[in-house]
């Protein structure tokens, strides 16, 4: 039997104001979601045109969860986003030029051309973004260790770690949640439940009702959240982050979405039932939030059209800058390698 709370959806304007969000903030959230979607779409086109090396992964359908959680974070908090979480990078202020440099393997990218769109980071700046690594969810023990460091140093900072529904089955995640529960670490675990782990559906991945049930199993709250509704995500993330900062320990947020594209470009996701895709297409995170802004904040067509233009120009400039960035010098291949 499930012991988790289900976050109530549909936030009113009054509640949005109570969350500290005025009209420009709300439009800014939409802009970040829009930028995330459009950057990924442009990356797809560039990949098809042979201008991106390696493979290509997107988080389409996941924009509300990445942007919603990242918006709730404080400037000194640390995040470890994954391959579906470009929105976290956008919210933390990574510019399209740097993102496309990373996608294109150019020297101006976060890893200096050592990797592509799958793993990015922002070491050395103040933006607090840890890179993902291939082994999932290997960053979860690392980010939990960072939460432990914050606690030991008595720093009022929170660590936020992302994990997929499939990777949540691995020992790393269970051990990290256990440690975080025992030590009441300033940590928020975010499981992006996009219902598929490559081609494996939830029913073959776990036998509990909700992944959030694992929070109470380790001594903290688990909350199931509609991951297509950015304001609900933001509210729950804000509460969880505040609680962690105030010494109240960790929270597990299960954000329910659907991976709207294949695992990566090579996968047509033919195994996802059409009805399920249609159900989630009807509650597309961008469409939903745009509808809310139109209805509640009376954002008009002109305002939305100029946002589209602004984001498109920003992305165009980023792509041009990235294409002018040199390929990495092979002589630097062993730089940044530590023993």
Ligand X SMILES: Cc1ncc(C[n+]2csc(CCOP(=O)(O)OP(=O)(O)O)c2C)c(N)n1
Q: Which residues bind ligand X (CB under 6 A)?
A: 84, 134-136, 164-167, 192, 194, 196-198, 259, 263
Q: Which is nearer to ligand X, 162 or 220 (CB)?
A: 162
What is the C-alpha to C-alpha distance for residues 218 and 214, in angstroms, rounded to an integer?
6
Beta bridge partners of 5: 223
Q: Residue 289 in contact with residue 227, Cβ under 8 Å?
A: no
Q: How far is the CB of 8 from ligand X (least distance, A)?
A: 26
The helix-helix angle for 63-72 and 230-245 (nearest 10°) equals: 30
Write the CA distances from 332 to 68, 113, 292, 298, integer angstroms. 37, 10, 49, 52
Q: Which is nearer to ligand X, 149 or 269 (CB)?
A: 269
Q: How far is the CB of 228 from ligand X (least distance, A)?
A: 15
Q: How far is the CB of 122 from ligand X (least distance, A)?
A: 21
Q: Which residue has the tokens 């510019």?
A: 95
Q: Which is nearer to ligand X, 186 or 262 (CB)?
A: 262
Determine the residue with CB nearest ligand X: 164
Q: Residue 196 in contact with residue 184, Cβ under 8 Å?
A: no
Q: Which residue has the tokens 């233009």?
A: 309
Q: Which is nearer to ligand X, 103 or 162 (CB)?
A: 162
The helix-helix angle for 171-183 and 139-152 (nearest 10°) equals: 10
Cα 219 off chain centre by:
25
Q: How far is the CB of 174 from ligand X (least distance, A)?
A: 14
Token pair listed for 228? 């297509």
Token pair listed for 74? 């404080």
Q: Which is nearer to ligand X, 17 or 135 (CB)?
A: 135
Q: How far is the CB of 62 from ligand X (least distance, A)?
A: 8
Q: How far is the CB of 168 from ligand X (least distance, A)?
A: 7
**Nearest CA among 188, 187, 80, 85 for reference residue 137:** 80
Question: How many other C-beta atoms can be found within 10 angstroms of the C-beta atom of residue 194?
Answer: 24
DSSP 8-state assignment for residue 168: G
Q: Which residue has the tokens 């202020």?
A: 93
82 HSE (CA, 13 A, CB side): 26
Q: Which is nearer to ligand X, 62 or 325 (CB)?
A: 62
Q: How far is the CB of 328 from ligand X (least distance, A)?
A: 24
Q: Which is nearer to ligand X, 97 or 258 (CB)?
A: 258
Q: How far is the CB of 134 from ligand X (least distance, A)?
A: 5
Q: Which is nearer to ligand X, 65 or 71 (CB)?
A: 65
């Amino acid at each position: 039997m499930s012991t988790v709370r289900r976050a109530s959806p549909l936030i009113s304007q009054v509640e949005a104001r109570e969350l500290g969000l005025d009209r420009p903030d709300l439009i800014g959230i939409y802009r970040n979601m829009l930028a995330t979607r459009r950057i990924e779409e442009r990356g797809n086109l560039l990949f098809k045109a042979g201008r991106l090396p390696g493979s290509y992964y997107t988080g389409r359908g996941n924009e509300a969860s990445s942007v919603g959680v990242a918006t709730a974070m404080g400037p000194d908090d640390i995040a470890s986003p994954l391959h579906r979480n470009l929105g976290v990078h956008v919210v933390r202020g990574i510019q399209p030029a740097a993102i496309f440099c990373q996608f294109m393997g150019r020297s101006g990218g976060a890893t200096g051309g050592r990797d592509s769109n799958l793993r990015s980071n922002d070491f050395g700046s103040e933006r607090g973004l840890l890179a993902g690594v291939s082994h999932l969810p290997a960053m979860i023990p690392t980010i939990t260790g960072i939460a432990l460091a914050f606690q030991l140093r008595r720093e009022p900072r929170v660590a936020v770690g992302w994990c997929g529904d499939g990777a949540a089955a691995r020992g790393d995640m269970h051990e990290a949640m256990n440690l975080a529960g025992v030590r009441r670490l300033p940590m928020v675990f975010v499981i992006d439940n996009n219902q598929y782990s490559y081609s494996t559906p939830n029913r073959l991945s776990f036998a509990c009702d909700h992944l959030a049930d694992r929070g109470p199993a380790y001594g903290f709250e688990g909350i199931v959240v509609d991951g297509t509704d950015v304001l609900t995500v933001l509210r729950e993330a804000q509460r969880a982050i505040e609680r962690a900062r105030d010494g109240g320990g960790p929270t597990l947020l299960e954000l329910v979405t659907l991976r709207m594209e294949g695992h990566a470009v090579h996968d047509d996701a033919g195994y996802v039932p059409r009805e399920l895709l249609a159900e989630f297409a009807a509650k597309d995170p961008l469409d939903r939030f745009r509808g809310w802004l139109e209805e509640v904040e009376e954002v008009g067509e002109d305002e939305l059209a100029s946002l589209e233009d602004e984001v498109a120009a920003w992305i165009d400039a980023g792509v041009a800058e990235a294409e002018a960035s040199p390929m990495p010098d092979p002589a630097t291949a062993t730089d940044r390698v530590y023993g």
